[in-house]
Chains A and B, each alone.
Chain A
């Protein structure tokens, strides 16, 4: 209390930044510098200029890969919604104990590594796996190839990302006041109209959160599409990886990285403006 007012004011802004300093310096050195390096490489490798961007933004291969990436991310988001919404609904209507059971399952799935879940889908959809066996039993003599197709990678990504969607929707559904539903019913809203006018608008924030999260993660997904997808239908992250590891085309890989980064940041930026980024993962 012996401090004068001006000294107190000074301490107020200095002290927090002192606490933040180590982390700020660390992130500048090991997060910002590598990112800047990617940006630099995209305009200097192999020679200075915008040739890499020209290629990435107009070349037919790149256009195909980016379109495929967006298409897949959109499809995965939609599937996660179609899968997640009913499950969140089921959880909010069953008994508390059953809801806890489902929650445990989803949490477990969430905490199980991407790789483990990708591997599990390889087993499930493999030539000697249960799905093919079931199809043969049902009389399909020559089941279509399931593994290493767009189907298998999409399915696995939906499975891996669905927990994000489910948790976001479930969180808002839990908060819906049951008396609101009852009063709507008492005024004659049933079935479809109850869902469209009451349930859907009330759960919209959860849908928005979950969709943004799933879409953005899917845009940059590397592991699952590379392991389970068709080599002919690559996604952006897979092609970036190829360019760095196989072709040592750092300029092209960096330019693609920057495009991917800008798209991701624009989507998250719009979201941040409207809702605040910290809410997305909270």
Chain B
């Protein structure tokens, strides 16, 4: 039983890794279509991506929309999370449920709703429309990450500062905010990724003017499976990899700088 499970486990590792590994050589291919192994290698499709406005515009749109989405989401979610974690009040369990609701609704259902609602508001085919929609969808994950951080916050630190004569404003600025900074950064990152990756709602409401990268990729895969997608996949993949590796690299560097061997 044990050995069988282990062998299946190893097979699953390959199953999970294979699709992630395959797109990298594809991005350097010289073939005009999906061919593996590639007949030759070149930077051709990278040059094509970085010189083609029909790919660069959606990429910039996505970055812009995700940034705005992050700012708006944080402005709304941070105060709400403080209320929910730090206070007991009437209607709290309802408020908790409310924060989670956008996660429970399938995106296709929201897409239908936004398509018609934003049509009436003249927000279809606009970046603002996508930002407003994405912000709703980013609320649950941002709230979950931030509330987990806030729950671990040691309140005695704030009380100590208060007893030493700090005003509530000073406590927030000098105690609460610095301690909470990593948690805020991570929840903001989650909000950003949620928007940057969101595909379904963007397909229905972003139109040609506010076309996001996932929408452009979706259309391109559906129509012709353009090999440029392998380039974007590799680039996105590199960002994810760097994001996951960076923290441990920084830790290692710090340890080395301090002179203690890193394990």
Residues of A within 8 A of B (CB): 12-13, 15-17, 19-20, 22-24, 26-27, 30-31, 33-35, 37-38, 41, 83-87, 89-91, 93, 102, 104-109, 111-124, 126, 128-130, 133, 159, 162-163, 191-192, 194-195, 216, 219-220, 222-223, 226-227, 236-237, 240-241, 244-245, 250, 253-254, 257-258, 260-261, 264-265, 268, 272, 277-278, 281-282
**Residue in chain B with minimal CB distance to A104:** B244
Are B19 and A111 in contact, with the CB atoms below 8 A?
no
A17 nearest CB across to chain B (Å): 7
Are A260 and B106 in contact, with the CB atoms below 8 A?
yes
A128 nearest CB across to chain B (Å): 4
Chain B residues, Cβ within 8 Å of A104: 244
Are B19 and A129 in contact, with the CB atoms below 8 A?
no
Scoring B19, B96, B218 by chain A CB atoms within 10 A of each residue's CB, the highest score goes to B19
A122 nearest CB across to chain B (Å): 6
Q: Using a Cβ–Cβ cut-off of 8 Å, how many residues does chain B contribute to the interface with A? A: 93
Chain A residues, Cβ within 8 Å of B36: 123-124, 126, 128-130, 133
Are A105 and B17 in contact, with the CB atoms below 8 A?
yes
Per the bound structure, the CA–CA distance linking A120 and B6 in Å amounts to 26
Q: Is the interface of A mostly helix, strand, loop or mixed?
A: helix
Per the bound structure, the CA–CA distance linking A192 and B117 in Å amounts to 56
Are A277 and B104 in contact, with the CB atoms below 8 A?
yes
B137 nearest CB across to chain A (Å): 9
Q: List 5 A-B contacts (CB under 8 A).
A: A30-B132, A83-B12, A162-B12, A244-B111, A260-B106
Chain B residues, Cβ within 8 Å of A22: 75-76, 79-80
Are B104 and A264 in contact, with the CB atoms below 8 A?
yes
Binds A, one of B41-49, B81-89, B180-188, B254-262: B81-89
B38 nearest CB across to chain A (Å): 10
